[in-house]
Amino acid sequence: MTTQSLFELEQTQDFIRRHIGPDEAQTQAMLNDIGAESVDALINEIVPSDIRLADLPNIEPSKTEVSALTDLKAVASLNKVNTSYIGLGYYGTLTPNVILRNVLENPGWYTAYTPYQPEIAQGRLEALLNFQQMCLDLTGLDLASASLLDEGTAAAEAMALAKRVSKNKKSNAFFISTDVYPQTIDVVKQRAAMFGFDIILGETDDVVNHDVFGALLQYPSATGEVRDISELIAKVHDNKGIVAVAADIMSLVLLKAPGELGADAVIGSTQRFGVPMGYGGPHAAFFTTSDKYKRSLPGRIIGVSKDTRGNNALRMAMQTREQHIRREKANSNICTAQVLLANMASFYAVYHGPQGLKTIATRIHRFADILAHAANTKGLTPLHGSYFDTLTFNLSEERKAEIVARALAKGVNFRTDVANQISISIDETTTRDDLFALFDILFGEDHGLDIELLDAEVRVLEYPSIPESLVRESEFLTHPVFNSYHSETEMLRYIKKLENKDLALNHSMISLGSCTMKLNATAQMIPVSWPEFANMHPFAPLDQAQGYKQMIDELGKWLVELTGYDNISMQPNSGAQGEYAGLIAIHKYHESRGEGHRNICLIPSSAHGTNPASAQMVGMKVVVVACDKEGNVDMDDLRAKASEMADNLSCIMITYPSTHGVYETTIAEICNIVHQHGGQVYLDGANMNAQVGLTSPGHIGADVSHLNLHKTFAIPHGGGGPGMGPIGVKSHLAPFLPDHALVTVNEATKGNGAVSAAPYGSAGILCISYLYIALLGRKGVTDATKYAITNANYLAKKLSQHYPILYTGKNGRVAHECIIDLRPIKAESGITEVDMAKRLMDYGFHAPTMSFPVAGTFMIEPTESESKAELDRFIEAMVCIRDEVRKVESGEWTAEDNPLHNAPHTLADVTGEWNRGYSIAEAVFPVPAAAANKFWPTVNRIDDVYGDRNLICSCPATDTYKD
């Protein structure tokens, strides 16, 4: 019999030790190397005592996976998932199970990073290229990006593009049709107010009566009308205006493409291509435009280039890290977007193909036709004779109330926000039974209607519900990729084939500095596909969404506790969106005190590129504050600038610990100086993984922060999104948090504009962060921080024997990440940081963050989730690479003929003729660990310059593939 207590036996269920990589023995070994007594002693050395919290955060103790999931299931079951006909950009959809399990629920796809290292990301780059091709074909334009955050923000980006490219330079006005979705209008109006554009809101026909730099129309309209807008577009063009069209992707399968009607930009959501509604997101928005605007396109473009063998190879074109390079001149602040969801939508198109999509869209349209015909028969005439999937009925309030009550009794939601009106949007999930239920609701149970009969009548009707001039004639999805994988076996293998090309967290650590690629626990992912969460429409009546409300409230309460703020807004759906929302709050706060003129935003030179890009979006003027040679904010420069600009100082945007990986001891003083001069402190929360439980932005003295839930709080990166960027604020900023046009988020902020299309952003993935906190509890979330710091210091210590660590704190320690300086190597040997990044692939690793925040460096963040064993493998790789560099330095290998310059190595290299100055084994199995778990990049080094000079953002013809 064991003498262990029951309590000890129960430790097998403890999640904390599953989340944290190093066990006790490994931790001790690391501490010995670091030269610290204990983890706590190390933390005390590193985190300045004056900002430390006295106690553990006041959240519940950790739960086991079983109990956390059981408890969350009970919360989820408070959601009542009605059949939704609300529409407005969110529709029921059937996620093909082969995509659900093998993409959405597959860590090979969801744990990947943004494809900045394209040689080990060809799989998701191909899926994204397919996404672009799908958008190009359906919208009828020639340049697409992949992808944007949601339809509302995509529309706002279209307005910004219109301003940049319109030749009507004298107008400051942008027209929005009242036929646009209300939440889109809300987001665009807010954006316009911040840019200082005038908004003209009018009926669609009214667009020709105004002198505008651009206009936004909806096709089909919010009430479902399908009408020819080509003449209106032409008239706006006569006046040098740019026309953006918000379009429904499914309708475009049957309708003439907006590009063919003259639209300059087409935007919309790809949600209904197989991505669950998730109470508002995450979903990928699309954006297509004309090739001539390629320098102005927001977001990332996937382009086709060549590798060193001359083979086609994919990469992110032009705007790679565009904010980092162009900062306040960037086209937009979009960084994390929606790659996982774009991939799902593109796989949906691949799986169904053009024929399958036609069938789906035609079936939806037929249901709408039958419903319209039935309604006409019953004397209830739809508002529009032309429609795709949405019928609107004008009714007396009395009749409407009756119908809505009957609908609710049958578990059905209509769109009801317009007085005397209901709208019904049919979708792919609608069945005959559903249609029958709709008849009962609309016409009473003794309606006597027969679906077969109605169908037969509809097919011979004289008045087509899609005008002849708007019937799609052009072909779409003709590329072989959309015509090859229609059986499940073929599809399964196609998905797997692409997955195999990508390195994700299920292969090895991805030590992306500032991006916190920690464990995305399986238990945390499971509820994402629970129907109670997945199938909820964002505008469903609140009494049906009580499960979501409870989860969001509880998560909000925890985040308040962990940030030291007073209020949280869950609306921003990325970190950059959070910055935008936070800066708006600051601006409106100043305005409320009669100081709306304050427009200077101080930003240290080490800041992330989204900071200046966001500041620019709210009309602020960026003033850069210098950093000293230790990487800290230059306090003299800060004092001088804050005082010189005191009259107009709006805020500072500062990251803590700094992007240099150090806890600046002057942080409290920085806050004081800015406050003394009337400014607010925006603390970029991307590095919260070095704060949780030990200190907090609120405690430090900041006023507002965003949290990257996809960094600190375990939402996976999805290969470049989704993410969530909720903001925390002190109470004085709370009145200026975002609201929503259709859902009251908070009585106190009613009427404030929105920053995202959905009231709680990408609510569908909040369960991940919720479970992260529930599973770790107060001790676990704090331990996570401590081990993140311990792991980083172990790495820094070990690597410091081979590479200079660029910045450390006073005692030689780093925070949760460290920067190694590769510039001396380049000066000595000519080997660049890029060579080293590519060489890491041969060792089976993804490179750390390259050249941010300092050019010619790696920023390495191991996170708490990596074990000592994995850290040692990475260290070994880095040490071996340093030795390889020495062989170039010593002349043993020439500058051209060495494994660094030629990295990464592929199977094509080693199966062809080999006549290099190093062996095949040195090339591809440089250490036993790499051989034992070999990852083969599928392309050789990709030519960036070629790709940008010859921009191709559509699927290349099959015969252009060399091998």
Ligand X SMILES: *Cc1c(COP(=O)(O)O)cnc(C)c1O
Which residue from 271, 192, 204 is spatially nearest to 243, judged by alpha carbons? 204
Asked if 849 touches ligand X (CB under 6 A), the answer is no
Smallest separation (angstroms) from ligand X to the CB of 853: 9
Task: Give the orientation angle of helix 24-34 with respect to helix 39-46, to 10 degrees.
Answer: 40
Asked if 282 touches ligand X (CB under 6 A), the answer is no
- Based on CB atoms, which residue is closest to ligand X, 220 or 604? 604
Task: Tell me the Ramachandran region of residue 370: left when phi exceeds 0, alpha when psi lies from -120 to 50, beta otherwise.
Answer: alpha
Asked if 504 touches ligand X (CB under 6 A), the answer is no
Asked if 610 touches ligand X (CB under 6 A), the answer is yes
Asked if 180 touches ligand X (CB under 6 A), the answer is no
Distance (Å, whole) CA 693 – CA 810: 22
Stretch that binds ligand X, among 269-277, 573-581, 596-604, 895-903 (CB under 6 A): 573-581
Stretch that binds ligand X, among 126-134, 164-172, 499-507, 572-580 (CB under 6 A): 572-580
- Based on CB atoms, which residue is closest to ligand X, 575 or 937? 575
Asked if 576 touches ligand X (CB under 6 A), the answer is yes
Distance (Å, whole) CA 652 – CA 675: 10
Stretch that binds ligand X, among 90-98, 182-190, 569-577, 663-671 (CB under 6 A): 569-577
Asked if 719 touches ligand X (CB under 6 A), the answer is no
Smallest separation (angstroms) from ligand X to the CB of 188: 20
Structural contact between residues 649 and 642, judged by C-beta atoms closer than 8 angstroms: yes
Among 336, 705, 752, 902, binds ligand X (CB under 6 A): 336
Burial class, 167, CB count within 10 angstroms (exposed 0-12 / middle 13-18 / buried 19+): exposed
**Pair of tokens at residue 900:** 């660094």
Question: What are φ and ψ of residue 174, in 5° steps?
Answer: -120, 130
Smallest separation (angstroms) from ligand X to the CB of 615: 12
Smallest separation (angstroms) from ligand X to the CB of 888: 32
- Based on CB atoms, which residue is closest to ligand X, 524 or 573? 573
Q: What is the DSSP string of 44-60?
A: HHHS-GGG--SS--SSP
| CA distances, 236 to each of 204, 208, 245, 499, 932 (Å) | 12, 6, 13, 45, 63
Tell how strand 242-247 and strand 214-219 pair up. Answer: parallel
Structural contact between residues 807 and 661, judged by C-beta atoms closer than 8 angstroms: yes
- Based on CB atoms, which residue is closest to ligand X, 129 or 334? 334
Among 725, 728, 753, 759, binds ligand X (CB under 6 A): 725
Which residue from 581, 539, 540 is spatially nearest to 156, judged by alpha carbons? 581
Distance (Å, whole) CA 214 – CA 173: 7
Asked if 303 touches ligand X (CB under 6 A), the answer is no
Asked if 575 touches ligand X (CB under 6 A), the answer is yes
Smallest separation (angstroms) from ligand X to the CB of 724: 8
Smallest separation (angstroms) from ligand X to the CB of 700: 16
Smallest separation (angstroms) from ligand X to the CB of 256: 36
Asked if 686 touches ligand X (CB under 6 A), the answer is yes
SS3 940: coil
Give the 3-state secondary structure of 618-638: CCCEEEEECECCCCCECHHHH
Asked if 569 touches ligand X (CB under 6 A), the answer is no
Question: What 8-state DSSP symbol labels residue 101?
Answer: I
392-451 binders of ligand X (CB under 6 A):
none
Asked if 659 touches ligand X (CB under 6 A), the answer is yes
**Pair of tokens at residue 210:** 């105004």
Residue with tokens 């016409």: 443
Asked if 723 touches ligand X (CB under 6 A), the answer is yes
Asked if 708 touches ligand X (CB under 6 A), the answer is yes
- Based on CB atoms, which residue is closest to ligand X, 538 or 609? 609
511-530 binders of ligand X (CB under 6 A):
514
Spell out, one character per residue from 108 to 147, where the chain touches ligand X: x when CB under 6 A holds, - when not. Answer: ----------------------------------------
Among 328, 684, 870, 872, binds ligand X (CB under 6 A): 684
Kind plus residue range of the DSSP H or E element containing 601: strand 600-604
| CA distances, 739 to each of 48, 373, 583, 892 (Å) | 37, 39, 15, 64
Asked if 728 touches ligand X (CB under 6 A), the answer is no
SS3 748: helix
Smallest separation (angstroms) from ligand X to the CB of 658: 9
Smallest separation (angstroms) from ligand X to the CB of 711: 6
Question: What 8-state DSSP symbol labels residue 391?
Answer: E
- Based on CB atoms, which residue is closest to ligand X, 684 or 835? 684
Smallest separation (angstroms) from ligand X to the CB of 703: 17
Structural contact between residues 318 and 177, judged by C-beta atoms closer than 8 angstroms: no
Distance (Å, whole) CA 480 – CA 488: 17
Asked if 335 touches ligand X (CB under 6 A), the answer is yes
- Based on CB atoms, which residue is closest to ligand X, 507 or 608? 608
Which single residue brings its beta carbon nearest to ligand X? 575
Smallest separation (angstroms) from ligand X to the CB of 849: 9
Asked if 683 touches ligand X (CB under 6 A), the answer is no
Spell out, one character per residue from 886 to 925, where the chain touches ligand X: x when CB under 6 A holds, - when not. Answer: ----------------------------------------
Asked if 762 touches ligand X (CB under 6 A), the answer is no
Reported as half-sphere exposure (CB side, CA atoms, 13 A), residue 49 has a value of 4
Smallest separation (angstroms) from ligand X to the CB of 718: 11
Smallest separation (angstroms) from ligand X to the CB of 607: 7
For 640-753, where are the E strands, in sequence order?
649-655, 680-684, 704-706, 727-729
- Based on CB atoms, which residue is closest to ligand X, 147 or 906? 147
Question: What 8-state DSSP symbol labels residue 502?
Answer: B
**Pair of tokens at residue 851:** 């050249």
Asked if 608 touches ligand X (CB under 6 A), the answer is yes
Smallest separation (angstroms) from ligand X to the CB of 862: 16
Structural contact between residues 791 and 88, judged by C-beta atoms closer than 8 angstroms: no
Using alpha carbons only, what angle is made at residue 209 by residues 204 and 215, rounded to the nearest 5 degrees?
A: 50
3-state helix vs strand vs coil in the chain, percent to 5: 45, 15, 40
| CA distances, 455 to each of 109, 267, 371, 398 (Å) | 42, 33, 10, 31
Asked if 705 touches ligand X (CB under 6 A), the answer is no
Tell how strand 600-604 and strand 649-655 pair up. Answer: parallel
Asked if 655 touches ligand X (CB under 6 A), the answer is yes
Smallest separation (angstroms) from ligand X to the CB of 578: 7
Stretch that binds ligand X, among 27-35, 574-582, 822-830, 911-919 (CB under 6 A): 574-582
Smallest separation (angstroms) from ligand X to the CB of 128: 17
For 150-295, where are the E strands, in sequence order?
173-177, 198-202, 214-219, 242-247, 265-269, 285-289
Smallest separation (angstroms) from ligand X to the CB of 114: 8
Tell how strand 242-247 and strand 265-269 pair up. Answer: parallel
Smallest separation (angstroms) from ligand X to the CB of 688: 10
**Pair of tokens at residue 176:** 């929005």
Question: What 8-state DSSP symbol labels residue 103?
Answer: I
- Based on CB atoms, which residue is closest to ligand X, 724 or 734? 724
- Based on CB atoms, which residue is closest to ligand X, 564 or 575? 575
349-368 binders of ligand X (CB under 6 A):
none
Structural contact between residues 581 and 727, judged by C-beta atoms closer than 8 angstroms: yes
Residues that bind ligand X (CB under 6 A): 335-336, 514, 574-576, 608, 610, 655, 659, 684, 686, 708, 723, 725
